[in-house]
Amino acid sequence: MRIDIISIFPEMFPGPLGHSIMGRAQERGLLKLVIHNLRDYTTDKHRSVDDAPYGGGAGMVMKPEPIFRAVRSLRCKEGTRIILLTPQGQVLTQEKAWKLSREEQLVLICGHYEGVDERVRQHLVTDEISTGDYVLTGGEIPAMLLVDSIVRLLPGVLGQRDSLQEETFTDNLLEYPQYTRPSRWEGMEVPAILLSGHHEEIRRWRRRESLRRTLRRRPELLKNKILTKEDQILLREIMEN
- Interface ranges with ligand 9D3 (CB under 6 A): 85-87, 111, 114-115, 130-132, 134-139, 142
184 C-beta neighbours (distance < 10 Å), count: 9
Nearer to ligand 9D3 (CB atom), residue 66 or residue 111? 111
Nearer to ligand 9D3 (CB atom), residue 10 or residue 138? 138
Nearer to ligand 9D3 (CB atom), residue 90 or residue 183? 90
Nearer to ligand 9D3 (CB atom), residue 92 or residue 157? 92
Nearer to ligand 9D3 (CB atom), residue 18 or residue 59? 59
Q: Is the CB of residue 151 less than 8 Å from the CB of residue 1?
A: yes
Residue 127 C-beta: closest distance to ligand 9D3, Å: 12
Please give the distance of CA 99 from its chain centroid, rounded to a whole number.
Answer: 12
Residue 50 C-beta: closest distance to ligand 9D3, Å: 12
Q: Which of 100, 99, 36, 46 is nearest to 72 (CA)?
A: 36
Angstrom distance (rounded) from CA 5 to CA 44: 22
Question: Cβ contacts of residue 176 below 8 Å, gap of 6+?
Answer: 205, 206, 207, 209, 210, 213
Residue 193 C-beta: closest distance to ligand 9D3, Å: 41
Q: Is the CB of residue 86 less than 8 Å from the CB of residue 62?
A: no
Angstrom distance (rounded) from CA 122 to CA 116: 11
Burial class of residue 102 (count of CB atoms within 10 Å of its CB; 0-12, 13-18, 19+): exposed
Residue 114 C-beta: closest distance to ligand 9D3, Å: 5
What separation, in Å, do the N-terminal and C-terminal C-alpha atoms of the chain show? 49
Nearer to ligand 9D3 (CB atom), residue 115 or residue 211? 115
Residue 17 C-beta: closest distance to ligand 9D3, Å: 16
Residue 99 C-beta: closest distance to ligand 9D3, Å: 18
Q: Which sign, positive or negative, has the C-alpha torsion 162, 167, 171, 172?
A: positive
Residue 72 C-beta: closest distance to ligand 9D3, Å: 22
